[in-house]
Structure 1
Amino acid sequence: MMASSLPPFPRAVFTTIEPISLVAGGVAPFISPDWFISEQIARHEAIHQTSDNARLVALQLGNAYLLLCMLGIAILSTTTEIKVVRGYLFTLWAADIGHIGVTYFMLGHARFTDLASWNAMTWGNVAATAFLFLTRTAYFLGLFGQDRIPDKPKRL
């Protein structure tokens, strides 16, 4: 398993913490799509009825989170190529930027910088994603140490 080649901290983050967070994000819209939608942007005013279109998008997003979880588990537990792992992590690194950027755009500068007004969903969308982004960045910079190159299997 190539994930065992990763230094301990990023290995724990990418093979345990991230999949758990993806399952949580993936299951939430299936449990309550209306709640999931209403929590995307913390508001003080009453929430209007959610449309079937919005519910469909929320459920598709939940499905995409579950897909990302399964892809991560599959890639990190089956490949023997560190290039594949690094390519996968770089793709997620770039997506982290997009995820936080879209959240910033939709919240606007004032709400994005008003941490006291953040709800659990905003903390997940911004802080958890920033943690993953910073962990990936530190990994790429070698701050956790070098990858352990596995021994080549001996041929008989």
Structure 2
Amino acid sequence: MASSLPTLPRIVFTIIEPISLVAGFLGPLVSPQFFAASQLATTKAAAEAHELTATEHILALQLGNAYLLLGFLGVFILNTTLDLPTVRAYLAALWLGDIGHVLITAWGLGLKGTFNIFGWNAVTWGNIGFTVMLFALRSLYFLGVFDKNGAKKGSKSKQT
């Protein structure tokens, strides 16, 4: 269960991350046009001026739905299982997803846009900045930084 996670990872993975994923769901729901155009670090005026195609509209809504699904999975898995290997497997899947999320965003922004952090908009800060923070926290968790006795090797499942 979430209570088996150390305090900082528990707060981040069971409260902060799900809230951020709900925000990722609401963005395209409230304004799919702005959400889609904001995937690249453009100005607010440029994002608002962008007219969505039907395909872009559906993709924005589907991406928002995927964020909501991830939020639900996090809340349900981390708050219901007593099985530490399940928690670790879930966090490992998210760790891999973090890598893809940042790389895809960086590819879209290009090298110049990726390293121009002062030009990032809120969506880019979420896609890169927040995701890198989550990746780092997951990495520290896997390295055993939050464990009192270091990383627990070969922990066995107590319940299935």
Global fold match (TM > 0.5): yes
Equivalent residue for 1:75, pick from 69, 77, 85: 77
Matched with 1:56 is 58
1:18 alignment counterpart? 17
Alignment of 1:81-120 (within 5 A): 81-120=83-122
Hey, what does 2:135 align to over in structure 1? 133
Answer 1 or 2: higher relative contact order, Cα 8 Å, separation at least 6. Answer: 1
The aligned counterpart of 1:3 is 2
Report the 3-state secondary structure (helix = DSSP H, G, I; strand = E; otherwise coil) of the residue aligned with 2:52.
coil
Structure 1: state its 5+ residue gaps.
none
How far apart are 1:27 and its partner, in Å? 1.0
Percent of aligned pairs sharing the same letter: 50
SS of structure 2 residue aligned to 1:73: helix
Deviation at 1:48, TM superposition (A): 3.4
TM-score (norm 2): 0.88
Aligned length: 150
TM-score w.r.t. length of structure 1? 0.90
Q: Following TM superposition, by how much is the alpha carbon of 1:43 offset from its aligned partner in structure 2, in angstroms? A: 2.3
1:144: Cα distance to partner? 1.0
What does residue 123 of structure 1 align with?
Answer: 125
Which residue in 1 is equivalent to 2:31? 32
RMSD across aligned positions (CA) = 1.9
Structure 2 unaligned segments of length 5 or more: list them.
none
